[in-house]
Amino acid sequence: MFDALLEGIVNLGSIHSLLLLAAGSVVGLLFGAIPGLGGTTAVALLIPLTFGMEPWQAIILMGGVMAATSTGGSVSAILLNTPGIAPNAATTFDGYPLAQQGKAGMAIGAAATASALGGVIGVVSLVAVIPIMKAIVLLFTPPEFFMLAIFGMCAIAVSSGDRLLQGLITAIIGLMVGFVGYYDVTSTVRFDFGIPLLEDGIKLVPALIGLFAISEMINLAVKGGSISQDTSDVEISGVSAGVKEVFKNWSTMLVGSGYGTFIGAVPGVGGTVAAFLSYSTQAQRDPTPEIEYGKGNIKGVIAPESANNAKDGGSLIPTLAFGIPGSAETAVFLGVLILHGIEPGQKLLEDHQDLVFTLVVALTVSAVFATLIVLALAKYMALLTRISVHMLIPTVTVVALVGAFALNTEIGDVVIAFIFAFIGYFMIRFNYPRVTFTIAIVLGSITELSFHQSMLIADDQMSIFFTRGLSLTLLALTILSLAFPTFRRKMKERKEAKLEAEQ
Amino acid sequence: MFSKIITGAVALSAVAMVAAVPAQAQEFPPKNITFLISYGPGGGFDTITRKLAPYLKKYLGGKVNIVPKNLPGGRGKKAAAFLAKRKADGSHIMMFNMPGHAMPNIIGEKAGYDVRKIDWLGRVAQFRYIIVVSAKKSKYQTIQDVLKAKSQIKIPITGPGTTGYLASAILWNALGVKPKYITGYKSSSRYSLGVIRGDGDLTILAKGSFKKYVSSKKKKRAAFKDLKPILEITNGKSEFGVPTTGEMGHKDLAILGGDRIIGTTPGTPKAIKDRLAKAVWDSVNDPEFVAWGKKVGRPVAPLNAADATQLVGKLFSYYVQYKDVLAASNKKTR
């Protein structure tokens, strides 16, 4: 294994390889930052370029792209309230409020640093778990998926804050939206009203583009001004402060990276869920924060960003163990390997260990490289929040709509984005949380599918959820995470009451 | 004199026009050809289409590009309907998944295309199925165990209406086994993982997909560590030394599987169709493409346009027998 790792480093050692990697990182950053495009599109578009390359060169280019997309996506999540790719959705919750407070530089600094560290931790974990990777992938079966999704749903309670009723209402609407379209268990199309566009369900990216980006532009148009409400003399940079915040909150970053690696290893769950879980766990671990979550707490940026980057390493675990892609990007990446005459699966690790480690090294270097680029440009990017609405609104709206269209070159997706833009605007206007709506859309379908499958496996016996070790552990964690904030608050109140009494 | 000139000019133009017809066909393709992919990036269809595109370019004269374009949606229906509605000038081609793409036509669902009307250009590949169990967790280690089973067999699979589900249903019906399907897995990779971890007892898998679970080391190859084949659907000899459906007396089942056939818009002029079909044939038989297919476990199975057209007809008539089963499983709920 050590020889293969060395070969990976040697492969990346030439100027040509480094240029390839840099090109991949830049493409990844751009495709990540422009809503709707994403890493899968970037990798697919670059495929023809790799035809004339050696397999390891193609791997370096693709590794560069894959490690950089979610870092790029965090920038648009923070500056424009639009997740560049779906796994950046959780970053908007605290990232955008920070931008509104004139702290965009700090948020970008923290997001980029958390991305790099998360990415590196994910890849290191991948290498560390290679001997036991099969066991990790096999740990999760439908009952565990269900419990994991329920655990994630707790985020609804946390993110609602003092608007629990509104939070629950939007969550229910989110669940209903998630039910639209083709359902894999029954192979039936539900709630499509005969409209072909709805047959595949409401796609997450156009919905998020509408819900967050365009709705925010409508809101800005009504309000006027600029994104940052603080346009006075505050120094816009703060990038280094953001970097320091990550090291100060190292446990948040570590937990996030752990979620990313672990969830990345489970095919079918993905970076979006990892980021949400990491976010909600952070909010639950910290029930009495200095700054409320959802209102610009920097830990709310670090948690999801470390998770969605660590996922890249994690999602290679099922790829190496069984030849099964752990994410959409790895699926395309496997396609690239096949095009180059390399059959993925068990043979990959047996016959092409050097290529595997070339990818590992490329992912690590690219994660750091992408972060350095973002950190270098953060100061200038943050200026975007000070641009007048007259310039910002048309530009962002056009980019967002093109993004919605580009995903599948489907004009219907633009319509979806518009519909969700108005839903989003009314949510802002009447103070209904958009976060809970998003969580429900993302987790609703996994919850339903895994529940249905569990029932099929266990012949409708609910006991399947309570007789398996991991499933039971996840249930216990769910109960604990719901009870913990209340318990901690009560303890604090009691302590304060005691102190007051003593005085 | 003047009339002679006119007559001569008319005659010359007529000759020129007659001569221009074959010239036009020879000039095909005048512009880039879009090679539609009915599924998203990644996965078998995407890969084979992208691999084939440069060969088609080569055999079409090398002047225009063959541009692969993903158009996923409606489980493959969207791209097929898009192709059917293009101008019939050979500017769009697509690799169909048969019988998957024929399903909406068989059950009479609105699809926007009819596989019986598509202009077929040739087959690229085909796959056949095997039945696999978990090498470690399954109670059933041979097909005899399954046939004698007292409890209900559980099969993780995609969902009713998909090619794998349909093949599975036809097979177990013929063998007299009434299994319970655990549906909802998004792909064969996912449901085979379901079998490995013990969600169910066994499943149906394309032979090419199974090969990724086999070690390349000779010693390990004999011992299947994750998935183990117990039955092969073929009338020939089993590649894995397991019983075959042919040996069990079910020769008609050998049709179960999948064919990847390239087609173009219905009504495409014969000259253009022939040119495209020849390019498909030459590409699929290109030694380099053949060698690639062999290396990555996706062997080519070339079939010319006429034979491919005949095959589509044959598949349609076979699966239409199961129309009611299919229609019931595809019933929409609102």
The answer to the question of residue A463 being in a domain is no
Do B294 and B190 fall within a single domain?
no
Q: The domain that contains B190 carries what CATH number? A: 3.40.190.10
Do B279 and B196 fall within a single domain?
no
Q: Pick the most confident of A428-437, B104-113, B240-249.
A: B240-249
Q: How many CA atoms lie within 13 A of B216 on its CB side?
A: 15
Q: How many CA atoms lie within 13 A of A254 on its CB side?
A: 5
Which of A262, A39, A274, A308 lies closest to A155, judged by CA? A274
The predicted structure's pLDDT at residue A415? 94
Total domains present in chain B: 2
Residues of the domain holding B132:
128-255
Please name the member of B70, B74, B212 whose beta carbon is closest to the beta carbon of A323. Answer: B212
pLDDT band at A477 (very low <50, low <70, confident <90, very high): confident
Do B275 and B307 fall within a single domain?
yes
Do B250 and B133 fall within a single domain?
yes
Query: Is A453 in CB contact (< 8 Å) with chain B?
Result: yes
The predicted structure's pLDDT at residue B34? 94
Q: The domain that contains B59 carries what CATH number? A: 3.40.190.150
The answer to the question of residue B272 being in a domain is yes
Q: Which of B228, B255, B282 delimits the end of a domain?
A: B255
Each residue of A221-245: pLDDT tens digit? 888 777 776 555 445 568 889 999 9
pLDDT band at B19 (very low <50, low <70, confident <90, very high): very low
Taking the CA of residue A392 and the nearest CA in chain B, the distance in Å comes to 32
Q: Is residue A289 reached through a cis peptide bond, with omega within 30 degrees of 0 on the bond before it?
A: no
The answer to the question of residue A106 being in a domain is yes
Contacting residues of B for A267, CB less than 8 Å apart:
189-190, 193
Query: Is A2 in CB contact (< 8 Å) with chain B?
Result: no
Q: Which residues contact A8 (CB under 8 A, 6 or more apart)?
A: A354, A356, A357, A358, A359, A360, A361, A362
Taking the CA of residue A209 and the nearest CA in chain B, the distance in Å comes to 20
CA–CA separation, B216 vs A350, rounded Å? 7
- Chain A segment 218-277 residues within 8 A of B by beta carbon are 267-268
Each residue of B255-307: pLDDT tens digit? 999 999 999 999 999 999 999 999 999 999 999 999 999 888 788 999 999 99
Which of A81, A75, A110 lies closest to A96, judged by CA? A81
The answer to the question of residue A55 being in a domain is yes
The answer to the question of residue B20 being in a domain is no
Which of A43, A269, A347 to substitute to test the interface with B, most B CBs within 10 Å?
A347
Whether residue A123 contacts residue A356, with contact meaning beta carbons closer than 8 Å, is answered with no
The predicted structure's pLDDT at residue A11? 83
- Averaged pLDDT for residues B131-141: 90
Q: Which of B255, B271, B304 delimits the end of a domain?
A: B255
Each residue of A114-168: pLDDT tens digit? 999 999 999 999 888 888 888 888 888 999 989 988 888 876 776 676 778 888 8
Which of A447, A416, A412, A421 lies closest to A171, judged by CA? A447
Contacting residues of A for B190, CB less than 8 Å apart:
267-268, 324
* pLDDT surpasses 60 at B14: no
B135 to each of A31, B138, B155, B195, B214, how far by Cα in Å?
42, 7, 15, 9, 12
pTM of the model: 0.84
Other beta carbons within 10 angstroms of residue A131's beta carbon come to 8
Do B150 and B235 fall within a single domain?
yes
Q: Which of B226, B255, B284 delimits the end of a domain?
A: B255
Do B221 and B151 fall within a single domain?
yes
Residue of B nearest to A196 (CA): B74
Q: Which residues contact A2 (CB under 8 A, 6 or more apart)?
A: none
Do B285 and B166 fall within a single domain?
no
Each residue of A285-303: pLDDT tens digit? 887 788 888 888 999 999 9
The predicted structure's pLDDT at residue B18? 45
* pLDDT surpasses 60 at A402: yes
- Return the higher-pLDDT residue of B327 and B208: B208
Other beta carbons within 10 angstroms of residue A341's beta carbon come to 14
The predicted structure's pLDDT at residue B290? 95
Asked if B42 lies within 8 A of A335 by C-beta distance, the reply is yes
Which of A97, A482, A452, A439 lies closest to A292, judged by CA? A97
Do B191 and B146 fall within a single domain?
yes
ipTM greater than cut 0.85 = no
Please name the member of B54, B160, B334 whose beta carbon is closest to the beta carbon of A186. Answer: B160
Taking the CA of residue A323 and the nearest CA in chain B, the distance in Å comes to 7
Residues of the domain holding A378:
2-141+196-408
pLDDT band at A456 (very low <50, low <70, confident <90, very high): very high
Taking the CA of residue B37 and the nearest CA in chain A, the distance in Å comes to 12
The predicted structure's pLDDT at residue A233? 45
The answer to the question of residue A66 being in a domain is yes
Contacting residues of B for A40, CB less than 8 Å apart:
40-42
Taking the CA of residue B68 and the nearest CA in chain A, the distance in Å comes to 10
Which of B262, B265, B261, B259 lies closest to B81, judged by CA? B265
The predicted structure's pLDDT at residue B140? 92
The answer to the question of residue B2 being in a domain is no
The predicted structure's pLDDT at residue B93? 96
Taking the CA of residue B96 and the nearest CA in chain A, the distance in Å comes to 18
Average pLDDT, chain A: 86
Contacting residues of A for B41, CB less than 8 Å apart:
40-41, 43-44, 328, 331-332, 335
The predicted structure's pLDDT at residue A246? 93
The answer to the question of residue B222 being in a domain is yes
Each residue of B88-114: pLDDT tens digit? 999 999 999 999 899 889 888 888 899
Do B239 and B141 fall within a single domain?
yes
Please name the member of A187, A324, A341 whose beta carbon is closest to the beta carbon of B159. Answer: A187
Do B119 and B139 fall within a single domain?
no
* pLDDT surpasses 90 at A426: yes
The answer to the question of residue B16 being in a domain is no
The answer to the question of residue B144 being in a domain is yes
The answer to the question of residue A94 being in a domain is yes
Asked if A322 lies within 8 A of B159 by C-beta distance, the reply is no
Total domains present in chain A: 1
Q: What percent of chain A has pLDDT over 90?
A: 31
Residue of A nearest to B67 (CA): A48
In one-letter notation, the amino acid at residue B98 is M
The answer to the question of residue B12 being in a domain is no
Contacting residues of A for B46, CB less than 8 Å apart:
44, 332, 335
> Number of Cβ pairs closer than 8 Å across A and B?
154
Characterize the bridge pairing of strands B92-98 and B33-37.
parallel
Whether residue B43 contacts residue B70, with contact meaning beta carbons closer than 8 Å, is answered with no
Do B294 and B211 fall within a single domain?
no
The answer to the question of residue B115 being in a domain is yes
pLDDT band at B216 (very low <50, low <70, confident <90, very high): low
Structure-token pair, residue A24:
């991949």
Residue A181 DSSP one-character state: E
Do B120 and B142 fall within a single domain?
no
Each residue of A75-99: pLDDT tens digit? 989 988 888 888 898 999 899 999 8
